[in-house]
Structure 1
Amino acid sequence: MKRKLTIEDLSRLVSVTQPTLAPNQQEAVFVQTKIDEKENTYQANLWHVDLASKKVTQWTHGKEKVSSPLYSQDGTELAYLSTREDINQLYVVPTNGGEARKVTSLEKGVASFLWSPCGKKIWFVASLKEGKLFTDDPEKEENKKPEPYIVDKMKYKMDGTGLLPQDTYKHIGVINTQTGEVTQFTEGNYSYALHAISQDGTKIVFSVNRSENQDFEFRQPLYLVDVESKQETTIIEEDGNFGGAAFSFDDAKLAFVGSEGTYKNATHTELYVYDIESGSREVLTEGIDAPVGDYVVADHQQGSNAPSVVWTKDNHLYFQVSTMGDVRLYAASLEGEMYPATGDDEHIYGYDVAKSGEFALVTISNPTKVGELYLHTIATGERQALTSFNASFENEVELIPAQAIVYKGAKEWDVHGWLMKPTGYVEGQKYPLIVEIHGGPHAMYANTFFHELQLLTAQGYGVLYVNPRGSHGYSQQFVDAVRDDYGGGDYEDIMAGLDFVLSENTWIDESRLGVTGGSYGGFMTNWIVGHTNRFKAAVTLRSISNWVSFFGVSDIGYYFSDWQIGADMTDVEKLWDHSPLKYAKNIETPLLIMHSEKDFRCPIEQAEQLYITLKQMKKETGFVRFPDSDHNLSRTGYPNLRYARLKQITDWFDKYL
């Protein structure tokens, strides 16, 4: 008989990510990540798989985090990033065996890299101070005195980073892997991103915004650059996000992904193809009313970083599409033919595709499968498992399937979601139900493994989680519908989902309902308890309570508020009308407030205001602060704090439900 899942099972889970095929197409590498409880951190190591024998071998064994493995074009060497010496530096290892050697010692480390086709040079991106060439002489921090931080722009801080380094810019450089000689390629007080190198090594694609004042610049134009002359050709410069470029095998075309600024950050991401000779550009995915890419929210996969697009030699392109709660691998031809290359009810969170287009390496998860690496034959859909790191956990622990539901929300629109029964469910008994609300709001719940949801079922709760309007994976109209309507149709969608499952499932005890969510889900939790007393307990995490103060304190507040609420400080009344704090006097639901001390996205003052207001009003509330943690505590935070967070949630619901 299988046992119930526990909080501590987080340490049993293994992430399998970043599958990367070798040039010979007969072997591959991937990254395996797991919690190191002793060090209270994560270990990410490099593994190798022989596709013929299916033999899997560990290649690195350190306590560092390895990421971004990439073979040289001839397959004789593999480069990767590693935090072996605290900060990400570039390492190269011979693929026929031998020790890895460190090839960079840059002060701020390496952000990203690409092999030059010659196999003797690597292009990389790293941060450096204004006017300072790349250096091998890191500044000593011990004796540095505190200095004032002079703010002269609006984008001066970032969640996960804190205050941005002043007079520091990301630049592109080239390192000779044999001699160690470093050459700086880009110049000026601008930040560059490197996206692609042509097959013949004569051209690169980078993005840069050279506007003097970037406070209201939300674009990063893409350029095609001649390596020899440095002459630039503009590929796209509209407002929006563009990147993930890849050259076709004949260097005639360039594919990239991006979203224009039409619906601000709610705009669907599309796949573009640029003809290098003519300079013409087309949108290949116009016929799909769903976004290209992976928009799933969950709490397990570490370092999941899939390519934006992969070419085959016959000029087919492969890419992810988030649709109807799935992330599927799609294929497209240059003529516009398009079809899914994988099936329904799963989350393809990583992939690489053979040059021939015959097979793909895919990492796959679903609600009862943590995630493993598979060899997927594209023509037939046949699969072979290449890893089984989570098999013993899955065989030992009872994992609850998620039942897909569809119901009518606001405006009679279809809304999708899932219902999970409690572990050990017995027909005829009544059980409490917890409603979970995702962040974003432009993200989505999906057919993927979610430890927190499984934990709640193990604690004896049913779990309802839905994708209300504003969620990705559906139409452009649907994802845009939440903007300027926070607390309107989205609130109706969630409550309609609750009414639907109550009408269809007699096992749910309507007198014992809980609600929780983080970020936008935290905002919505706050909003719900201020507008209904149906819930007996609520937990709000990394939430927004006051749009007026959020405008000035969040790293994105001054533009996000306008994009999402449709108001700035010239319309304080509208910001306040959409603020849960305004309705605090209505809250009768016991509310636990949880927040990270170093959250720059939704700063902790949002929690402080709500807590003190509720305490002053003699409401039932609690407040838990997490030190040294940012907005991503539930996904990538210190393991002990992730355990503590889950215990606080389950204890609160246990007390009131």
Structure 2
Amino acid sequence: IIFQLHKAQGLRAKCNVVWAGIEMKKGTKMTFEALMKVKRISDPQVHPGGKLAAFVETVHDPGENKVRSTIKLLDLDSGRERDLTPGEHSDSSPRWSPDGKKLLFVSDRKDGSQLWVLPFEEGGEAYQLTTGEGGASQPVWAPDGTRIAFARSVIVSPHFDGNAEDLPKEDRELVLRSRTYGLVNERSTARVEDSLLFRHWDHWRDRKRSHLFIMDIGTGKMNDLTPGDADVPPVSLGGSQDFVFSPGGDEIAYVMNPDPVVAVSTNNSIFVRGIDGTEPVGEPRNISVTGAMDLEPRYSPDGSYLSYLGAERPGYEADRLRIRLYDRRTGKTSHLLERFDRSVSEYLWNGDGFYFTAPDRGYLSLYRVSTESGDVIQYTSGVYQKELRMMPDGSLLMTREDARRPADIHIMRPGKGVPPLLEITKEPPPRMDQEVERVTDHGSVFEREGIELNPLESFVFRGADDDPVHGFLLKPQGFDQSRKYPLLFIIHGGPQSAFFDHFHYRWNPQLFAGEEYVVVEINPRGSTGYGQKFTDQISGDWGGRCYEDLMKGLDFVLDTFEFIDGDHIAAAGASFGGFMVNWIQGHTDRFRVLVSHDGIFNQETMSYMTEELWFDIWEHRGMPHEDHESFLRFSPHMFVQNFRTPMLVVQGELDFRCPVSEGISLFTALQVMNVPSRLLYFPDEGHWVEKPANSEVWYRTVRDFIAEHIRS
């Protein structure tokens, strides 16, 4: 026996054992319990001094069925961490004051979610800054450090005067809601609605709107800058930060949809309004009047420009987003990235240009565009990074992850780039990177547990119209080239979305690889990161090119990888992926077992039960009473007579996007057709299964149902 001791990325020693010249490694199986041990990093914020950063660490506890977030302080030189907000409460959204002496954050330790301040330089305990009904979220400091802007939920109803002081402690929320609706009996559970959009994702809105407030942190005085029946930030299709102060602190820009019925509109617009202290000055002005979706306003450092991300086509939520520049002096707007065939994900000012990321062939690549020339430089390819933050020395702080490693904080020093690599070829995207230093080590949690995960492997094949289509393959843990493995074929939602080489917690492919499946993930028509035309080709054609891409992709992997057992294949997906699994159920018998999570079964009932109507209106060019045939053409319920593959149906009662009617109807149809089927129903979950206990049940039920039928 020979012991080999070597350094692992400069952080710790790793010992491998070599027996008779062959490296022997402990192969511990990837499990749900291991997944829940990950301390998830998000929202890093650089201290103005540039030596420290605050970030959010989130832990999921299935035993207690709790999710808790805390704020950590990170020394960027040493990598040392310490907890700034210990306790049983959850804390998030850390924001440094401009002078770095205070840390503002959101906490649920008292009065719901409110803003708290930690005196960082002087030391001492955190103190509560906001109180009152509606809580507070998404805080932003004014440049002078004396004011903050934040969002608060406000009841907008002619029946409610805003006074919540006399509400009884018992049944407080019920009485408040009854007063909101003007019910004659305050103990009634009724709701009375007169217009759309009255519920969203997983909750009834109860006539609440998100409003933008400004507060003087010295006096406590605050004002609602956006009173009325509208949401700031918008109820949907917004960005990571949709209101910001101007560098002079005398104006604020925010995103709001001004249309009377937001359920049928994507018209999120950029508004600006003057402010004096906490008082509004003049009337708000809409500076983006295209009718399409605009978001993420950002002032230039010198205040000359206001940038934002803008789409072109009204009503289309998946349109390409470009950077737009509003000249505050002339009032004229110009556009960047006209010839850049990707959609901007996030961006930030950098001198005479912007750093930005964009989905790119299964990754999030980093670019820079010049405001002077419009030229674009690409810095990374084959790398997934997000949450970009500028550091005082010009470096970039970011989080990075891949399918084997959860997110860690990194620092990049961008050097030379290349012209954008946009062409989709028969080859997988190349790997290109810059000088990068990893600062945290949360991502090695599986390595520390002795769990060795395989990387995602890219492949490209010819899909519909003979176009190149990209996918990922994940080999099972302990892979043996001489064996045959069953295949799990996962289909993504959206449909205007994509599989990425990142660490996913809901449909984690490593968990299924741990059960000795080959996992295949394909980005068919409709996927993002392959050019806007490729994304657009899903609209009105759900069971057409996309289905053909998927089936040709399945043919490709079966013909190419001999270790896949083509007689034992499962398909699974959620949302649009669930629709596609339902479509597969009526159109092919090549799968042994199917899993449909919150998938669309009847396009007509879906369109009148869902809440964001603009989506169906765009996809079908209207509602069913306007174009009936469009909804029937690709509706799985029209092919129930062909259903025969064993199927697990997963449905959340609180899913208002793909409503409970779809899952119940699908399960009923399967039972009527005597198809072996099972319904996994969550009364307290929406579109996603988020509670740790329910997540565990989800994984185990999906695993067991597939295992029961894939070899039958």
TM class by smaller structure: over 0.9
Report the Cα offset of residue 436 of structure 1.
Answer: 0.2
- Letter paired with 1:78: L
Contact preservation (8 Å) 2:316, 2:615: no
Report the Cα offset of residue 27 of structure 1.
Answer: 1.7
User: More deviation in 480-489 or 573-582?
Assistant: 573-582
The aligned residue for residue 82 of structure 1 is 107
**Residue from 471, 488, 502 that aligns with 1:434:** 488
d(CA) in 2 for partners of 1:268, 1:138: 49
The aligned residue for residue 127 of structure 2 is 101
d(CA) in 2 for partners of 1:237, 1:389: 44
What is the SS of the residue equivalent to 2:296? strand
d(CA) in 1 for partners of 2:558, 2:62: 41
The aligned residue for residue 654 of structure 1 is 707
d(CA) in 1 for partners of 2:375, 2:109: 45
Report the Cα offset of residue 147 of structure 1.
Answer: 4.7
Contact preservation (8 Å) 1:134, 1:184: no
Report the Cα offset of residue 223 of structure 1.
Answer: 1.6
**Residue from 312, 322, 339 that aligns with 1:287:** 339
**Residue from 111, 135, 141 that aligns with 1:115:** 141
- Please give the per-residue CA displacement for 1:166-214, whole angstroms capped at 9, x wherever unaligned: 2x33222222223322223333333333511011101110233444454
The aligned residue for residue 197 of structure 2 is 155
- Please give the per-residue CA displacement for 1:383-441, whole angstroms capped at 9, x wherever unaligned: 22211123242342121211100111000111101111122221221111110001001
**Residue from 448, 453, 473 that aligns with 1:399:** 453
Q: Which structure 2 residues correspond to residues 573-652 of structure 1 after superposition, within 5 A?
A: 573-633=629-689, 637-652=690-705
- Please give the per-residue CA displacement for 1:521-576, whole angstroms capped at 9, x wherever unaligned: 000011012100000111110111001111111122x4322212335222334312
Report the Cα offset of residue 369 of structure 1.
Answer: 1.3
- Please give the per-residue CA displacement for 1:488-539, whole angstroms capped at 9, x wherever unaligned: 1000000111011111111111110110000000000110121000001111
Which is higher, the Rg of structure 1 or of structure 2?
Answer: 2
Alignment of 1:269 with 2:321, yes or no, is: yes
- Please give the per-residue CA displacement for 1:564-600, whole angstroms capped at 9, x wherever unaligned: 2335222334312311111121122111111112111
Contact preservation (8 Å) 2:298, 2:308: yes
d(CA) in 2 for partners of 1:86, 1:33: 21
Alignment of 1:511 with 2:567, yes or no, is: yes
**Residue from 58, 81, 85 that aligns with 1:60:** 85
Alignment of 1:461 with 2:517, yes or no, is: yes
Alignment of 1:559 with 2:614, yes or no, is: yes
CA, structure 1 residues 136+334, in 2 after alignment: closer, same or farther (shift >3 Å)?
Answer: farther
Report the Cα offset of residue 639 of structure 1.
Answer: 0.5
d(CA) in 1 for partners of 2:88, 2:370: 43
Alignment of 1:529 with 2:585, yes or no, is: yes
d(CA) in 1 for partners of 2:86, 2:286: 44
Alignment of 1:195 with 2:243, yes or no, is: yes
**Residue from 36, 57, 76 that aligns with 1:51:** 76
d(CA) in 2 for partners of 1:207, 1:135: 28
Contact preservation (8 Å) 1:134, 1:182: no
d(CA) in 2 for partners of 1:389, 1:216: 42
d(CA) in 2 for partners of 1:288, 1:392: 38
Q: Percent identity?
A: 28
Contact preservation (8 Å) 2:362, 2:501: yes
- Letter paired with 1:364: R
Contact preservation (8 Å) 2:292, 2:315: no
d(CA) in 2 for partners of 1:647, 1:361: 37
- Letter paired with 2:145: G
Contact preservation (8 Å) 1:207, 1:223: yes
User: More deviation in 315-324 or 598-607?
Assistant: 315-324
The aligned residue for residue 369 of structure 2 is 332
d(CA) in 2 for partners of 1:24, 1:226: 30
d(CA) in 1 for partners of 2:361, 2:315: 20
d(CA) in 2 for partners of 1:493, 1:171: 44
Contact preservation (8 Å) 1:106, 1:135: no
Q: Which structure 2 residues correspond to residues 73-472 of structure 1 after superposition, within 5 A?
A: 73-85=98-110, 87-96=112-121, 97-130=123-156, 137=165, 139-140=167-168, 142-143=170-171, 144=175, 145-160=187-202, 162-166=203-207, 168-193=208-233, 195-228=243-276, 229-261=281-313, 264-293=316-345, 308-312=346-350, 314-335=351-372, 336-341=374-379, 343-357=380-394, 359-379=395-415, 381-395=434-448, 396-451=450-505, 452-472=508-528
- Letter paired with 2:252: I
User: More deviation in 9-18 or 30-39?
Assistant: 30-39
d(CA) in 2 for partners of 1:590, 1:170: 44
d(CA) in 2 for partners of 1:163, 1:509: 46
- Please give the per-residue CA displacement for 1:284-333, whole angstroms capped at 9, x wherever unaligned: 1222101111xxxxxxxxxxxxxx43223x23322221111111232222
User: More deviation in 193-202 or 408-417?
Assistant: 193-202
- Letter paired with 1:574: S
- Please give the per-residue CA displacement for 1:249-287, whole angstroms capped at 9, x wherever unaligned: 111111211323357122112121221111121221222
Report the Cα offset of residue 148 of structure 1.
Answer: 3.0
What is the SS of the residue equivalent to 1:549? helix
d(CA) in 1 for partners of 2:257, 2:458: 43
Contact preservation (8 Å) 2:306, 2:325: yes
CA, structure 1 residues 339+355, in 2 after alignment: closer, same or farther (shift >3 Å)?
Answer: farther
Contact preservation (8 Å) 2:49, 2:392: no
Report the Cα offset of residue 349 of structure 1.
Answer: 2.7
What is the SS of the residue equivalent to 1:68? strand
d(CA) in 1 for partners of 2:499, 2:166: 43
d(CA) in 2 for partners of 1:614, 1:251: 61
d(CA) in 1 for partners of 2:265, 2:619: 17
- Please give the per-residue CA displacement for 1:12-59, whole angstroms capped at 9, x wherever unaligned: 112111111122222211111111334312111111122233332221
CA, structure 1 residues 210+476, in 2 after alignment: closer, same or farther (shift >3 Å)?
Answer: closer
Report the Cα offset of residue 475 of structure 1.
Answer: 0.8
- Letter paired with 1:150: V
d(CA) in 2 for partners of 1:55, 1:418: 35
d(CA) in 2 for partners of 1:620, 1:280: 62
What is the SS of the residue equivalent to 2:100? coil
User: More deviation in 187-196 or 37-46?
Assistant: 187-196
Aligned residues: 634
What is the SS of the residue equivalent to 1:266? coil
d(CA) in 2 for partners of 1:177, 1:618: 65
d(CA) in 2 for partners of 1:379, 1:15: 29
CA, structure 1 residues 124+648, in 2 after alignment: closer, same or farther (shift >3 Å)?
Answer: same
CA, structure 1 residues 562+397, in 2 after alignment: closer, same or farther (shift >3 Å)?
Answer: same
d(CA) in 1 for partners of 2:383, 2:163: 46
CA, structure 1 residues 441+95, in 2 after alignment: closer, same or farther (shift >3 Å)?
Answer: same
Alignment of 1:568 with 2:617, yes or no, is: no
d(CA) in 1 for partners of 2:549, 2:331: 45
Contact preservation (8 Å) 1:172, 1:186: yes
d(CA) in 2 for partners of 1:129, 1:50: 42
